[in-house]
Every structure is written in structure tokens, then in C-alpha cells.
Amino acid sequence: MELVARRLIQKDTEVNTQGGNIDTPLTAAIAHNMEPVARLLIEKGAEVNAQGGPYGTPLMAAIARNMEPVAYCLLRRARI
């Protein structure tokens, strides 16, 4: 899955597209425990403060899914 994400990003795919059941690609990656994809999306400019979906924010998704390293990464990038 990480390879697919990398190829999509190389083709200038919008990393902040919203929609679907989980809202953003970043939140979806976190919800599905795909830490490498989540980190890649953050690195490529995914909006870490996005609102919406069942988790509310990517940070809340990371906390709910017990993805502590991703939560710390999100906190470092967040505009608080």
C-alpha cells in the first residue's frame, strides 16, 4: 500500500482530498493502521488539522488507533 501511495503522490495527486467514509487520505491511513502511508502523507503536506469524518481530526484518529508515533508526528506539525 505504501508503494501505491508513493506512486499516486508522484503523479501530483491531491493529498488533502476530502470525502468518503473516513474523510481525508491521512485520516484513512491512520484508521487502517498504515503508519508508513500516514507518515508519507504528512511529509508530502497533508493537512494535519483537517476536520471531519468519524474521528474528527487525524490526531484523534491516531489516538483512537493507538498510533503514538503518528500522534507525535502530527503534534509536531500541528498549528496549535
The predicted-structure confidence for 18-55, as pLDDT tens digits, reads as follows 666 667 889 989 999 999 999 999 988 899 998 888 88
C-alpha cell at 40: 508519507
Q: Would the pTM count as exceeding 0.85?
A: no
8 Å CB contact between 60 and 52: no
Tens digits of per-residue pLDDT, 64-76? 999 999 999 999 9
Could you tell me the domains of the chain? 2-77 (1.25.40.20)
Closest by CA to 32, choosing from 4, 78, 57, 64, is 64
Dihedral angle over CA of 49, 53, 54, 55, nearest 10: -10
Residue type, 12: D
Q: d(Cα 30, Cα 32) in Å, to the nearest integer?
A: 5
